[in-house]
Amino acid sequence: MGHLDHAALGWLTPALSYVMACIGAALGLRCTVRALAAATGRSRRNWLITAASAIGTGIWTMHFVAMLGFSVAGTDIRYDVPLTLLSLLVAVVVVCAGVFAVGYGRDRGRALFLGGLTTGLGVASMHYLGMAAVRLHGDVTYDPALVGLSVLIAVVAATAALWAALNIKSPVAVTIASLIMGAAVSSMHYTGMFAVSARVTPSGEALPGATAMQFIFPLAVGLGSYLFLTSAFVALSPTAGEREASASAQRPVESAAP
Protein backbone atom coordinates (compact mmCIF):
# COMPACT_ATOMS: atom_id res chain seq x y z
CA MET A 1 0.00 0.00 0.00
CA GLY A 2 1.24 3.51 -0.81
CA HIS A 3 1.61 5.75 2.21
CA LEU A 4 -0.76 8.73 1.89
CA ASP A 5 0.21 12.14 3.22
CA HIS A 6 -2.64 14.66 3.49
CA ALA A 7 -0.45 17.55 4.60
CA ALA A 8 2.81 17.15 2.68
CA LEU A 9 3.42 20.90 2.97
CA GLY A 10 2.75 20.92 6.73
CA TRP A 11 -0.07 23.01 8.19
CA LEU A 12 -0.04 25.49 5.32
CA THR A 13 -2.57 23.70 3.07
CA PRO A 14 -5.12 22.70 5.77
CA ALA A 15 -5.03 26.22 7.25
CA LEU A 16 -5.23 28.00 3.88
CA SER A 17 -8.00 25.69 2.63
CA TYR A 18 -9.99 26.39 5.83
CA VAL A 19 -9.62 30.15 5.26
CA MET A 20 -10.85 29.78 1.64
CA ALA A 21 -13.88 27.76 2.80
CA CYS A 22 -14.71 30.44 5.40
CA ILE A 23 -14.39 33.33 2.93
CA GLY A 24 -16.63 31.53 0.41
CA ALA A 25 -19.20 30.77 3.12
CA ALA A 26 -19.15 34.32 4.53
CA LEU A 27 -19.57 35.86 1.10
CA GLY A 28 -22.32 33.38 0.21
CA LEU A 29 -24.25 34.03 3.43
CA ARG A 30 -23.89 37.80 3.04
CA CYS A 31 -25.18 37.66 -0.55
CA THR A 32 -28.09 35.40 0.46
CA VAL A 33 -29.06 37.86 3.21
CA ARG A 34 -28.94 40.65 0.60
CA ALA A 35 -31.01 38.55 -1.84
CA LEU A 36 -33.77 37.94 0.71
CA ALA A 37 -33.89 41.69 1.45
CA ALA A 38 -33.89 42.64 -2.25
CA ALA A 39 -36.85 44.68 -3.45
CA THR A 40 -36.84 43.55 -7.09
CA GLY A 41 -36.83 40.09 -8.63
CA ARG A 42 -33.81 40.84 -10.80
CA SER A 43 -31.78 42.09 -7.85
CA ARG A 44 -32.70 38.98 -5.83
CA ARG A 45 -31.70 36.69 -8.68
CA ASN A 46 -28.33 38.44 -9.14
CA TRP A 47 -27.53 38.28 -5.40
CA LEU A 48 -28.44 34.56 -5.33
CA ILE A 49 -26.21 33.83 -8.34
CA THR A 50 -23.35 35.72 -6.64
CA ALA A 51 -23.99 33.75 -3.43
CA ALA A 52 -23.92 30.42 -5.28
CA SER A 53 -20.76 31.27 -7.23
CA ALA A 54 -19.05 32.39 -4.00
CA ILE A 55 -19.97 29.26 -2.03
CA GLY A 56 -19.24 26.99 -5.01
CA THR A 57 -15.83 28.49 -5.82
CA GLY A 58 -15.00 28.72 -2.08
CA ILE A 59 -15.65 25.00 -1.60
CA TRP A 60 -13.81 24.05 -4.78
CA THR A 61 -10.79 26.23 -3.92
CA MET A 62 -10.79 24.77 -0.39
CA HIS A 63 -10.73 21.23 -1.83
CA PHE A 64 -7.90 21.81 -4.28
CA VAL A 65 -5.78 23.96 -1.97
CA ALA A 66 -6.03 21.03 0.46
CA MET A 67 -5.12 18.70 -2.43
CA LEU A 68 -1.86 20.62 -2.96
CA GLY A 69 -0.76 18.94 0.28
CA PHE A 70 -1.82 15.45 -0.87
CA SER A 71 0.96 13.04 -1.81
CA VAL A 72 1.33 9.29 -2.17
CA ALA A 73 4.68 7.63 -1.49
CA GLY A 74 6.18 5.96 -4.55
CA THR A 75 4.24 7.79 -7.24
CA ASP A 76 3.76 11.21 -8.78
CA ILE A 77 0.26 12.68 -8.90
CA ARG A 78 -1.38 14.33 -11.92
CA TYR A 79 -4.84 15.82 -12.41
CA ASP A 80 -7.20 15.24 -15.32
CA VAL A 81 -7.96 18.80 -16.49
CA PRO A 82 -11.51 18.33 -17.95
CA LEU A 83 -12.68 16.37 -14.87
CA THR A 84 -11.23 18.98 -12.52
CA LEU A 85 -13.04 21.78 -14.39
CA LEU A 86 -16.23 19.70 -14.40
CA SER A 87 -15.99 19.39 -10.60
CA LEU A 88 -15.87 23.22 -10.37
CA LEU A 89 -18.90 23.54 -12.65
CA VAL A 90 -20.82 20.93 -10.60
CA ALA A 91 -19.99 22.79 -7.36
CA VAL A 92 -21.33 26.12 -8.65
CA VAL A 93 -24.41 24.74 -10.49
CA VAL A 94 -25.58 22.48 -7.66
CA VAL A 95 -25.01 25.12 -4.97
CA CYS A 96 -26.95 27.50 -7.25
CA ALA A 97 -29.90 25.07 -7.30
CA GLY A 98 -29.77 24.77 -3.50
CA VAL A 99 -29.56 28.51 -2.90
CA PHE A 100 -32.42 29.21 -5.33
CA ALA A 101 -34.56 26.55 -3.62
CA VAL A 102 -34.15 28.53 -0.39
CA GLY A 103 -34.36 31.97 -2.00
CA TYR A 104 -37.64 31.25 -3.78
CA GLY A 105 -39.14 28.53 -1.56
CA ARG A 106 -42.62 29.28 -0.19
CA ASP A 107 -42.46 26.70 2.60
CA ARG A 108 -39.31 27.42 4.65
CA GLY A 109 -38.91 23.92 6.10
CA ARG A 110 -39.27 22.12 2.78
CA ALA A 111 -37.04 24.65 0.99
CA LEU A 112 -34.33 24.16 3.63
CA PHE A 113 -34.51 20.37 3.42
CA LEU A 114 -34.38 20.37 -0.41
CA GLY A 115 -31.75 23.11 -0.58
CA GLY A 116 -29.54 21.46 2.05
CA LEU A 117 -29.82 18.03 0.46
CA THR A 118 -29.09 19.37 -3.04
CA THR A 119 -26.18 21.55 -1.93
CA GLY A 120 -24.70 18.83 0.31
CA LEU A 121 -24.86 16.20 -2.44
CA GLY A 122 -23.35 18.79 -4.80
CA VAL A 123 -20.43 19.43 -2.45
CA ALA A 124 -19.87 15.68 -2.05
CA SER A 125 -20.10 15.00 -5.80
CA MET A 126 -17.64 17.87 -6.42
CA HIS A 127 -15.24 16.29 -3.92
CA TYR A 128 -15.42 12.82 -5.45
CA LEU A 129 -15.27 14.15 -9.02
CA GLY A 130 -12.14 16.05 -7.95
CA MET A 131 -10.77 12.80 -6.54
CA ALA A 132 -11.68 10.94 -9.73
CA ALA A 133 -9.48 13.45 -11.58
CA VAL A 134 -6.41 12.24 -9.63
CA ARG A 135 -4.01 10.15 -11.74
CA LEU A 136 -1.27 8.06 -10.10
CA HIS A 137 0.66 4.85 -10.69
CA GLY A 138 -1.63 2.26 -9.10
CA ASP A 139 -5.22 1.90 -7.89
CA VAL A 140 -7.27 4.05 -5.54
CA THR A 141 -9.94 2.46 -3.32
CA TYR A 142 -12.46 3.96 -0.89
CA ASP A 143 -13.81 2.93 2.51
CA PRO A 144 -17.61 3.00 1.89
CA ALA A 145 -18.45 3.85 5.54
CA LEU A 146 -16.19 6.93 5.54
CA VAL A 147 -17.50 7.99 2.12
CA GLY A 148 -21.06 7.77 3.49
CA LEU A 149 -20.05 9.77 6.58
CA SER A 150 -18.44 12.49 4.42
CA VAL A 151 -21.64 12.82 2.33
CA LEU A 152 -23.72 13.05 5.52
CA ILE A 153 -21.40 15.78 6.91
CA ALA A 154 -21.73 17.67 3.59
CA VAL A 155 -25.56 17.57 3.69
CA VAL A 156 -25.75 18.59 7.38
CA ALA A 157 -23.20 21.39 6.83
CA ALA A 158 -25.05 22.71 3.78
CA THR A 159 -28.42 22.64 5.56
CA ALA A 160 -26.96 24.46 8.57
CA ALA A 161 -25.37 27.09 6.31
CA LEU A 162 -28.63 27.73 4.44
CA TRP A 163 -30.53 27.89 7.73
CA ALA A 164 -27.98 30.47 8.90
CA ALA A 165 -28.48 32.47 5.68
CA LEU A 166 -32.24 32.58 6.31
CA ASN A 167 -32.12 33.35 10.02
CA ILE A 168 -28.95 35.30 10.66
CA LYS A 169 -28.65 38.97 9.81
CA SER A 170 -25.94 40.56 11.99
CA PRO A 171 -22.34 40.63 10.63
CA VAL A 172 -20.97 39.03 13.83
CA ALA A 173 -23.38 36.11 13.55
CA VAL A 174 -22.58 35.73 9.83
CA THR A 175 -18.86 35.58 10.73
CA ILE A 176 -19.44 32.88 13.36
CA ALA A 177 -21.68 30.90 10.96
CA SER A 178 -18.95 31.15 8.28
CA LEU A 179 -16.26 29.82 10.63
CA ILE A 180 -18.52 26.87 11.53
CA MET A 181 -19.39 26.29 7.86
CA GLY A 182 -15.68 26.39 6.94
CA ALA A 183 -14.91 23.83 9.65
CA ALA A 184 -17.75 21.60 8.44
CA VAL A 185 -16.62 21.73 4.79
CA SER A 186 -13.01 21.05 5.82
CA SER A 187 -14.02 18.11 8.02
CA MET A 188 -16.10 16.73 5.14
CA HIS A 189 -13.05 17.02 2.88
CA TYR A 190 -10.65 15.28 5.25
CA THR A 191 -13.20 12.58 6.13
CA GLY A 192 -13.46 11.93 2.39
CA MET A 193 -9.67 11.90 2.12
CA PHE A 194 -9.26 9.43 4.98
CA ALA A 195 -11.61 7.12 3.07
CA VAL A 196 -8.95 6.85 0.35
CA SER A 197 -6.32 4.15 0.17
CA ALA A 198 -3.90 3.67 -2.72
CA ARG A 199 -2.12 0.56 -3.94
CA VAL A 200 0.95 1.83 -5.78
CA THR A 201 2.33 -0.01 -8.82
CA PRO A 202 5.71 1.63 -9.51
CA SER A 203 6.11 2.51 -13.17
CA GLY A 204 8.45 4.62 -15.30
CA GLU A 205 5.62 5.68 -17.63
CA ALA A 206 4.58 9.33 -17.76
CA LEU A 207 1.22 10.02 -16.14
CA PRO A 208 -1.49 11.82 -18.15
CA GLY A 209 -2.80 15.18 -16.91
CA ALA A 210 -1.29 18.27 -15.32
CA THR A 211 0.68 18.66 -12.10
CA ALA A 212 -0.91 20.53 -9.22
CA MET A 213 1.45 23.47 -9.67
CA GLN A 214 0.86 23.69 -13.44
CA PHE A 215 -2.91 23.72 -13.21
CA ILE A 216 -4.51 23.60 -9.75
CA PHE A 217 -2.36 26.32 -8.20
CA PRO A 218 -2.97 29.05 -10.86
CA LEU A 219 -6.70 28.24 -10.93
CA ALA A 220 -6.95 28.34 -7.12
CA VAL A 221 -5.12 31.69 -7.08
CA GLY A 222 -7.49 33.04 -9.74
CA LEU A 223 -10.61 31.88 -7.89
CA GLY A 224 -9.20 33.10 -4.59
CA SER A 225 -8.72 36.55 -6.13
CA TYR A 226 -12.30 36.44 -7.44
CA LEU A 227 -13.55 35.71 -3.91
CA PHE A 228 -11.52 38.54 -2.37
CA LEU A 229 -12.62 41.08 -5.01
CA THR A 230 -16.27 40.06 -4.75
CA SER A 231 -16.04 40.26 -0.94
CA ALA A 232 -14.75 43.82 -1.23
CA PHE A 233 -17.52 44.74 -3.69
CA VAL A 234 -20.25 43.25 -1.48
CA ALA A 235 -18.83 44.87 1.66
CA LEU A 236 -18.78 48.30 -0.02
CA SER A 237 -22.13 48.14 -1.84
CA PRO A 238 -25.00 49.73 0.13
CA THR A 239 -27.69 47.53 1.68
CA ALA A 240 -31.37 48.03 0.84
CA GLY A 241 -31.83 49.89 4.17
CA GLU A 242 -28.92 52.24 3.47
CA ARG A 243 -30.24 52.97 -0.03
CA GLU A 244 -33.69 53.82 1.35
CA ALA A 245 -32.14 56.09 3.98
CA SER A 246 -30.11 58.01 1.39
CA ALA A 247 -33.13 58.25 -0.94
CA SER A 248 -35.35 59.63 1.84
CA ALA A 249 -32.58 62.08 2.82
CA GLN A 250 -32.59 63.48 -0.72
CA ARG A 251 -36.38 63.70 -1.09
CA PRO A 252 -37.06 66.81 1.08
CA VAL A 253 -34.42 68.75 -0.88
CA GLU A 254 -36.10 67.84 -4.18
CA SER A 255 -39.59 68.77 -2.93
CA ALA A 256 -38.33 72.12 -1.66
CA ALA A 257 -37.07 73.03 -5.12
CA PRO A 258 -39.48 75.26 -7.12
pLDDT computed for residue 239 by the predictor: 66
Q: Determine contact, residues 64/220, Cβ cutoff 8 Å.
A: yes
Backbone angles phi, psi at 203, to 5 degrees: -155, 150
Residue 145 — pLDDT band, cuts 50, 70, 90? very high
Tell me how far apart the alpha carbons of residues 148 and 191 are, in angstroms, rounded to a whole number. 10
Domain ranges of the chain: 4-256
Tell me how far apart the alpha carbons of residues 150 and 130 are, in angstroms, rounded to a whole number. 14
Which H or E run includes 256? helix 240-256
pLDDT-wise least confident of 40-54, 136-150, 225-239 = 225-239
pLDDT computed for residue 144 by the predictor: 92
Which residues, other chains included, contact 250 with Cβ-Cβ below 8 Å and sequence gap of 6+? none
* Helical segments of 38-170, H only: 41-67, 81-104, 108-132, 144-167
Q: What confidence tens digit (pLDDT) does each residue in 222-237 have?
A: 877 877 787 777 777 7
pLDDT computed for residue 220 by the predictor: 74
Tell me how far apart the alpha carbons of residues 96 and 57 are, in angstroms, rounded to a whole number. 11
Q: What confidence tens digit (pLDDT) does each residue in 81-118 have?
A: 888 889 888 888 888 888 888 888 778 888 889 888 98
